[in-house]
Structure 1
């Protein structure tokens, strides 16, 4: 049994739910598995073969279903590569190398090489935003644009939400859904499928416990490619005001958009991200 799940039965349930979701992918797609030094990596590929490449990196505790609402729009203009990040509840290897090493950059090197990509734009959310930033600071020649949604590594990581969320999990499925609302900041009828999926995942999945490292100002100052950062003012995981402040201080060429009513899960940004990517 993989150590990222609480049981083999739970792992099977998450994989079954994920496979069902993949059948709802709204555009034609190819499923590829790329060997890397961290193990096999699963990628959902869509869009015209001759279109510019766009790498999509989801956050912790999820998988490529993060992009279901975006992919139909983005895949009209880009060859999209929705990656199941290693160590997360997708179909990639369960490997979790340390975030303070260069292991994830080397993993992405292997992945891009295996896909035949020299350079690409990257959209990353939460942990995926941190991975995108980490790669861009180490391999700027391979990253043409960065669009980051509630990214880690810029603003301070918060801990206050954790105690309440852990207590709610003691109350079974209902508590898990309330925990999901706390973490994501979503609380509308339309968000119910997302919350149900998050609750199912965390009923069986062991999330990462390693803190997301903060990037230094000098490291961020090395980024010269166009950067868009979108964060929610009500994010319970990261200090979004701090994120916006550090972006303006360390990357004055970057754009930052702080959404006053949004939490950690940022939805409805398909068009704004696409406009940025197509500039």
Structure 2
């Protein structure tokens, strides 16, 4: 496990109707519930630099999406954003999370927005970070597609060189940022062991956005859920223009573009990320 999550212990795996999902339930038991959703090729370890601060005054639930972290592989390969957000709504019921704040990064940010659009009464506030549902660079899809291929995907995952993975991982961050070696090792190990399952899940979610990234436009337009949008000024995968597109659709939103930051605000700019989220949660 990546350093920074060990104090959360083993967590627990919850059997839902469509998947078994591992969660870490921490913080103040009767505090405002906050749910954290990670992105593609990561897991709950991506929150290692921010979870302690967020848990000081909130009930914090970190979710390993199907196939990632400690969650088992998805039971079937037929995943869509609708199916995943319905799964999350069921998880909220099981954990007695009444209208939590939902914070998502990358794919998790897209799912958080999709959840609020599909189940607006289930989300009290929304934090969307580097989410590609309204636009991302096409080059971000090659690894999804390669790993998702039958037979070949498993072979590619097992032999995928750590050096190449580390180089591509670094390229997703802002200039000059050096990802922690133990994080690279952990994410690379997850790719080698579970890459095809993760890719099939992620590709199903990605296809839900539509080829022109327009499927979510209608459902999001006019959504009144208070929303904080955090995007990196140096993000090569999901540019700040995507954040502006979110902001144009959401009347009760605020866009923050973090200077020098790439695709991982919670890892690259943890102090700024915590400060923005904390101020947002205290507002109103």
Q: Which has the higher helix share?
A: 2
- TM-superposed CA distance for 1:186, in Å, is 6.7
- TM-superposed CA distance for 1:274, in Å, is 1.8
Mapping of 1:194-209 within 5 angstroms? Answer: 194-204=183-193, 205-206=195-196, 207=199, 208-209=202-203
- TM-superposed CA distance for 1:61, in Å, is 1.1
Mapping of 1:116-265 within 5 angstroms? Answer: 116-154=96-134, 156-160=135-139, 172-185=161-174, 187-189=176-178, 191-204=180-193, 205-206=195-196, 207=199, 208-210=202-204, 211-212=206-207, 213=209, 214=213, 215-241=215-241, 243-265=242-264
- TM-superposed CA distance for 1:110, in Å, is 1.5
TM-score, structure 2 normalization? 0.79
Q: C-alpha separation between the residues in 2 aligned to 1:236 and 1:250?
A: 22
Deviation readout 1:217-263 (Å, 9 max, x if unpaired): 3311242011001111322222321x133123211320011223211
In structure 2, the CA distance between the partners of 1:189 and 1:87, relative to structure 1 (3 Å rule), is closer
Deviating beyond 4 angstroms after TM superposition, the runs of 4 or more aligned structure 1 residues are: 20-23, 161-166
TM-score, structure 1 normalization? 0.80
- TM-superposed CA distance for 1:44, in Å, is 0.3
Q: C-alpha separation between the residues in 2 aligned to 1:83 and 1:164?
A: 23
Q: C-alpha separation between the residues in 2 aligned to 1:29 and 1:194?
A: 18
2:39–2:104 Cα contact (<8 Å) kept: yes
1:24 matches 2:1: no
In structure 2, the CA distance between the partners of 1:29 and 1:175, relative to structure 1 (3 Å rule), is closer
Q: C-alpha separation between the residues in 1 aligned to 2:173 and 2:183?
A: 9
Cα-Cα RMSD: 2.8
1:120–1:142 Cα contact (<8 Å) kept: yes
In structure 2, the CA distance between the partners of 1:173 and 1:30, relative to structure 1 (3 Å rule), is closer
- TM-superposed CA distance for 1:50, in Å, is 1.1
1:99 matches 2:80: yes
Which stretch has the larger CA shift, 261-270 or 52-61? 261-270
- TM-superposed CA distance for 1:77, in Å, is 0.8
2:234–2:259 Cα contact (<8 Å) kept: yes
Deviation readout 1:75-95 (Å, 9 max, x if unpaired): 111111101111324324424
2:174–2:260 Cα contact (<8 Å) kept: no
- TM-superposed CA distance for 1:191, in Å, is 3.3
2:64 corresponds to which of 79, 84, 99: 84
In structure 2, the CA distance between the partners of 1:180 and 1:43, relative to structure 1 (3 Å rule), is same
Q: C-alpha separation between the residues in 2 aligned to 1:162 and 1:50?
A: 41
2:23–2:64 Cα contact (<8 Å) kept: yes
* 2:47 corresponding residue in structure 1: 67
In structure 2, the CA distance between the partners of 1:123 and 1:113, relative to structure 1 (3 Å rule), is same
In structure 2, the CA distance between the partners of 1:194 and 1:77, relative to structure 1 (3 Å rule), is same
1:272 corresponds to which of 259, 268, 276: 276
Which stretch has the larger CA shift, 196-205 or 110-119? 196-205
In structure 2, the CA distance between the partners of 1:163 and 1:74, relative to structure 1 (3 Å rule), is closer
- TM-superposed CA distance for 1:184, in Å, is 3.7
SS of 1:46's partner is: strand
In structure 2, the CA distance between the partners of 1:138 and 1:162, relative to structure 1 (3 Å rule), is closer
SS of 2:184's partner is: helix
